[in-house]
Amino acid sequence: MSANIEMKYEKLVELYEVLDSTSKRLEKTSLIADFLSMVGEKDPNILSIITLFILGRIFPTWSEEELGIGSKLLMKAIALVVGVKPEEVEDQMRDIGDIGLAAQELFSRKVQSTLFRRDLTIEKIHQNLVKIANITGDKSQYKKLEILRELLSSASPMEAKYITRTVIEELRVGVGEGTMKDAVSLAFKVPKETVERAHMLTNDLGLVAVVAKEQGLEGLQKLTLEPGKPVKPMLAQLSPNYIASIQEMGWAFCETKYDGIRVQIHRERDEINIFTRRLENISQALPEIVEYIKKAIKPSDFIVEGEIIVTQDGKPISFQYILQRVRRKYEIEKMREKIPLTMYLFDVLYYNQPVLDEPFKDRRELLEKIVQIIPIKLELSTQVKVTPENPEKAEKLFNESIDEGHEGIMIKDPYAPYTPGIRGKKMLKWKATPETLDLVVVGGTYGTGKRAHFIGSFLLALRDEDNKLKNLAHVATGLDDKTLQELSEISEPLIVRKIGRQVEMIPSIIMEVAFSEIVKSPEYESGYSLRFPVVKRIRNDLNIEDIDTVERVESIYQTMKLIS
């Protein structure tokens, strides 16, 4: 291996530009693979950093580290470096619709060069961003601004374009995790399925790339689940017919489907951490759940999974109450009394060793052995065994679940392993309410009359296989004036362009949307649209990586055709 040479950031920027110039996934994969291979030979110490940077990230998805830099602070830093007012940066961003392109344009106009300007290296940028993430306390915003200003002062216009995009994690070069996994496989000559599994178990593509380079196939095969590092949840798809689904499985476990916040609970030594679907650590906000877990499961390293709901008079109440608890940072004990929580556990992924490859029936049996029920506080999900000969047991559980205020039932293949992040036929859902999609707001239209100051209709998008956003529908139903007011206040800082009453927005707000039907439509980029969409709730517990995909919409479209 050759001696390490610090790699200039401009080399990575050149790759970004080429990636942005092609829409062909195979070409992107080949370009990234060549770059990773080159980095692995010249400077293996930054391989993990490079892998995450190409995905538009600074830290792994499960990391609690974040920059804490909003668009206002970023625009102020740009303004200081190029010598204009922050309002001019904001105007430029609104005109162009992209903070990166706005920065590039403003930097290209900059007359005065920074004295003693030094070439930026990838390590330098990463070190400064990590330093920003670690700043807390008094004057933290000022300190963050100074580090960001110093970094941008040495940037060329093209480098400024991608530094600013990286800071807000909106790289826009059309590279998703699927493409990156294929590139790692190609670069280091390891099987795709091994890379897929390694990523599934670690949720850290930077680590996977490093191990693939340094240890190859054997090293990747040793990577496994570890308490403390959350993985993406196994996902369910809609059952076209619960009887047919049970027949296809041979027999099934049917469980009540709870409408709450799905969590993964990790115990490592004496530390218990609770992670949401977006892999956010919410342990501090839920002290009673930590207490229940300590009482219910004997000290051991473990990972269990379940749903947290709020109940009142024995019935679940609005999802928004749970969000109040999850997002709470102060007066937690007071809120604990006001909004009591119930935990329902339904799976175990790790107990002294990984068990996610074991059949679900064995994992459930293990869960029942290790959990001591605490009535009303911590329980196991209600479950029945259903065979094709007695499908009425599933119907009975479904009706009981609906009567109790829950969503419906889950249908689980008893022989299925746990597959993080995968949505397949091994776990299905049968709901009384319409199917919903989690979509991100990318634009909207101001209302008229008394709603003229509100964004009254929102343009929603989902992800394609290359992680690019494709719009799907407009929604204007399901939001009262109070919610519209709140959404408009949240939306204003996200607006990057206004054309008449229409606006374009930085993707950030996620909505859960119900609909009556999916139809094919050339009007929207996704090729589909929704009939009678209604906003069910704002999903503050999800991030943009959790929104639904074109592939899922296609699957629901085909399933609905079967049902009808």
CA-CA-CA-CA dihedral for 382, 385, 389, 394, to nearest 10: 20
Angle at the Cα of 220 (from 215 to 225), degrees rounded to 5? 135
Summary count for the chain: helices (H), strands (E): 20, 20
DSSP three-state, residue 193:
helix
Q: Which residues contact 435 (CB under 8 A, 6 or more apart)?
A: 238, 514, 515, 556, 560
Q: Which amino acid is at 144?
A: K
Q: For residue 230, which phi and psi values (nearest 5 degrees)?
A: -70, 155
User: How many Cβ atoms from other residues are within 10 Å of residue 172's Cβ?
Assistant: 18
Tokens of 47: 């391989």
Q: What is the DSSP letter of 389?
A: T
Exposure string of 275-293, with b = 16+ CB inside 10 Å and e = fewer, is bbbbbbbbbebbebbbebb
Report whether 509 contacts 493 (CB < 8 A): no
H-type alpha helices, 269-419: 287-296, 319-326, 332-338, 360-370, 392-403
- Residue-by-residue DSSP string for 22-91: ---HHHHHHHHHHHHHHHHHH-GGGHHHHHHHHTT-SS-TT--------HHHHHHHHHHHHTS-HHHHHH
Report whether 205 contacts 232 (CB < 8 A): no
| Beta-bridge mates of residue 412 | 253, 427
Q: Known catalytic residue: 561?
A: no
The CA–CA distances, whole Å, from 374 to 342, 345, 489 equal 10, 12, 42
Phi-psi group of 331: left, alpha or beta (phi > 0 → left; psi -120 to 50 → alpha; rest → beta): left
Report whether 251 contacts 414 (CB < 8 A): yes
Q: Which of 257, 412, 426, 431 is catalytic?
A: 257
Residue 451 host element (H or E): none
Length of the chain equals 564
Please state at what angle helix 122-133 crosses helix 47-54, rounded to 10 degrees.
80
Q: Which amino acid is at 36?
A: L
Report whether 543 contacts 510 (CB < 8 A): yes
CA distance 472 to 435: 15
Residues designated catalytic: 257
